[in-house]
Chain A
């Protein structure tokens, strides 16, 4: 998604003379083109996330619209108070970009995983979260963020299941994608909702693990706060099936699944597939961590089948 992000943000910088790019000294082999082209509007704030977020707010107070980039854990947790006080309380158009959501950074270790980023940011006033489902979803998120008068966060990630699938539809505002829709809606079914790139677990299940398109509607959501009144296809599916399996590459506490469960009407079943903390401290690829957390296509298929059996 990083390549897609750089392309998309470049169009913003080209179009908006008051947009600028600030990095916390990261972006090797990705941001060099922006440096060359936008010189003065590209700032490397150094390895100093708190100072970086404060100065981004300062530039926004002078009328600029900064994009602030680092890897997801660094650009969120380290400077959370600056995001809250300097950015959100002032309702400033600071666009925060975290690369490596969820388990993306796998073997880099737990300091580099971002499994709480959406939780800590979703509670902040005026904050809007964007978490694209696939690479070709990033540009739409960037375009919407570029229009906001207030703060936003973009979660970039690479799924261990790295599966792309052409969506059946994409809502222009909510960015919710429909990936599979049952032909016969009178039969029992399950609504599978993936938050951002976690939907790729479901896409892989569709393509290689026998997740049956006759039984499931699959959606990928990409924004918080949700706008369910806009998301009529998703809501129609949920009201039909009364069964939901929600997949997120994030801890359950404070995650998108928790919020979705509260936002939906009463259901027969709501199963949540989330990341989990493990005390054994063994590390591996993103795929290794997904398997440990049972965030797998096989586990998804099993949950869907269990819900179908009881409905």
Chain B
């Protein structure tokens, strides 16, 4: 395992991305904080350790765009100057990813249920038409699995045995107006993906060793689905597991407390 992939290095990277992410949201007074925090460890692992230059990543949960921007910036795929425009007038970095704006973001998303069909088309093309070994990763929210188009694409991916496609579900258990289990239950969730022809694993979406194991398991002849059990608002105690922090921007005191909690977490890391 390279140094960048050591758990402590990954944790430090994720903390730096969370710090940047909170700074962006505080400066912009923008919402969707909780949704971004639940995805940051997955994004960190993917960009630090797994994605190759030829691979494609589709953020189907477009409301997590700022977490992707912060991650791309951390890994040198967005400049300081570009990132500084987030959420401001004349930016290429709006609250949901824009079309044709940033090289590292191939598809605009934000209306849920669009990412997996697009990712499936890319994966099919790479595997059967273009003859490359490029892989496609698509990150869904669990609420997004209410969308029929997600399952249309899942049927297609299973049928065509797209083993170059990895679906991540950021399963934080909370959607727009309540808990997923109360709104439209998805369970038995893993069995649903299995029934559609996917090799399914579940992991703690904040545990790098588990993410590594899940991504490391090959699935010849089958697309993969990794159900990453996550905590909405992860890393900031008062944001964790609440619907509210899907929506609210932070005030000064809340931002201060959030940063203090990241400082404390960082001090607990091994040097």
Contact A90 B100, CB 8 Å, known A40-B128, A43-B124, A81-B111: yes
CA distance A60 to B124 in the complex (A): 11
Q: How large is the interface on B (under 10, 10 to 19, 20 to 34, 35 or more residues)?
A: 20 to 34
Report if A64 contacts B (CB, 8 A): yes
B121 within 8 A of A: yes
8 Å CB contact of A46 from B56, B108, B125, B156: B156
Is residue A243 contacting chain B, with contact meaning CB distance below 8 A? no
B122 touches A62 (CB 8 A): yes
Is A225 an interface residue when CB atoms closer than 8 A count as contact? Answer: no
Q: Is the CB of A54 within 8 A of B129?
A: no
Contact present for A58 and B118 (CB under 8 Å):
yes
Contact A61 B152 (CB under 8 A): no
- Chain A, 40-76, CB within 8 A of any chain B CB: 40-41, 43, 45-46, 48, 50-64
Residues of B139-173 at the interface with A, using a CB-CB cut-off of 8 Å, are 148-149, 152-153, 155-156, 159
- Asked if A117 CB lies within 8 Å of chain B CBs, one says no
User: In the complex, are the beta carbons of B107 and A20 less than 8 A apart?
Assistant: no
Q: How far is the CA of A53 from the CA of B156 in the complex (A)?
A: 12
B100 & A54 in contact (Cβ 8 Å cutoff) = no
The answer to whether A57 and B107 touch across the interface, beta carbons within 8 angstroms, is yes
Question: Does B39 lie at the interface of the complex (its beta carbon under 8 Å from any beta carbon of A)?
Answer: no
Distance in angstroms between the alpha carbons of A40 and B120 in the assembled complex: 15
**Cα of A54 to Cα of B56 in the assembled complex, Å:** 16
CB within 8 Å for A86 and B118 given contacts A58-B124, A64-B129, A91-B100? yes
Q: Using an 8 Å CB-CB cutoff, how does the interface string of B97-128 with A read, 1 for contact, 0 for none? A: 00110000011100101101111111111101
B156 to chain A: which residues have CB within 8 Å?
45-46, 48, 51, 55
- Which of A48, A55, A90 has the most chain B CB within a 10 Å cutoff? A55
Known: A54-B117, A54-B118, A89-B108. A62 touches B152 (CB 8 A): no
- A16, chain B: closest CB distance, angstroms: 12
B29 lies within 8 A of chain A by Cβ:
no
**Closest residue of A by beta carbon distance from B151:** A51
Q: Which residues of the other chain, B, contact A152 by a CB distance below 8 angstroms?
A: none
**Do B108 and A85 touch (CB < 8 A)?**
yes
Contact in complex: B121, A55 (CB < 8 Å): yes
Write out the residue numbers on chain B whose beta carbons fall within 8 Å of the beta carbon of A52.
117, 152
- Distance of A179 Cα from B103 Cα, bound (Å): 49
Docked pose: A41 CA to B125 CA in angstroms? 9
The answer to whether A82 has its CB under 8 Å from any CB of chain B is: yes
Question: How would residues 258 to 277 of chain A score, 1 for a CB under 8 Å from any chain B CB and 0 otherwise?
Answer: 00000000000000000000
B130 CB contacts on chain A under 8 angstroms: 62-64
Task: Report how far A54 CA is from B124 CA in the complex, Å.
Answer: 12
What residues of B have a CB within 8 angstroms of the CB of A91 in the complex? 99-100
Nearest residue, chain B, Cβ from A41: B129
Question: Known interface pairs A51-B117, A81-B111. Does A61 touch B122 (Cβ–Cβ under 8 Å)?
Answer: yes
Contact check, B108 vs A54: say whether CB atoms are below 8 A apart: no
Inter-chain contact A59/B149, CB cutoff 8 Å = no
CB distance from B158 to the nearest CB of A (A): 11
Residue of B nearest to A66 (CB): B121
What sequence of 0s and 1s flags, for each residue 254-267 of chain B, a beta carbon within 8 Å of any chain A beta carbon? 00000000000000
In the complex, the answer to whether B129 meets A48 with C-beta atoms within 8 Å is: no
Contacting pair B125 A64 (CB below 8 A): yes
CB distance from B23 to the nearest CB of A (A): 29
CA gap between A302 and B56 in the complex, in Å: 61
- Write the nearest CB–CB distance from A109 to chain B, whole angstroms: 23
Which of B99, B111, B149, B153 is the one whose CB lies under 8 Å from A90?
A: B99
The interface centre, meaning the residue of B99, B100, B121 with most chain A CB atoms within 10 A of its CB, is B121
Q: How far is the CA of A52 from the CA of B148 in the complex (A)?
A: 12
Q: Which residues of A contact B111 (CB under 8 A)?
A: 81, 85
Query: Which of B120, B128, B149 is A58 in contact with, Cβ under 8 Å?
Result: B120
Residue contact A59 to B148, C-beta cutoff 8 Å: no
Contact residues in B for A51 (Cβ distance below 8 Å): 117, 120, 149, 152-153, 155-156
Whether A57 pairs with B121 at a CB distance below 8 angstroms is: yes
**Closest residue on chain B to residue A88 by CB atoms:** B99
- CB-CB under 8 A from B119, the residues of chain A are 58
Assess whether A50 is in contact with B149, with CB atoms less than 8 Å apart.
yes
Contact assessment for B122 and A46 in the assembled complex, using a CB-CB cutoff below 8 Å: no
Report A's interface with B, CB cutoff 8 A.
20, 40-41, 43, 45-46, 48, 50-64, 81-82, 85-86, 89-91
Q: List 9 A-B contacts (CB under 8 A).
A: A50-B149, A55-B156, A56-B121, A57-B117, A58-B121, A62-B125, A89-B108, A90-B99, A91-B100
- 8 new A-B pairs (CB below 8 Å) besides A52-B117, A58-B120? A41-B129, A50-B149, A50-B152, A51-B156, A54-B116, A59-B121, A86-B118, A90-B108
A-contacting residues of B (Cβ < 8 Å)? 56, 99-100, 106-108, 111, 113-114, 116-126, 128-130, 148-149, 152-153, 155-156, 159
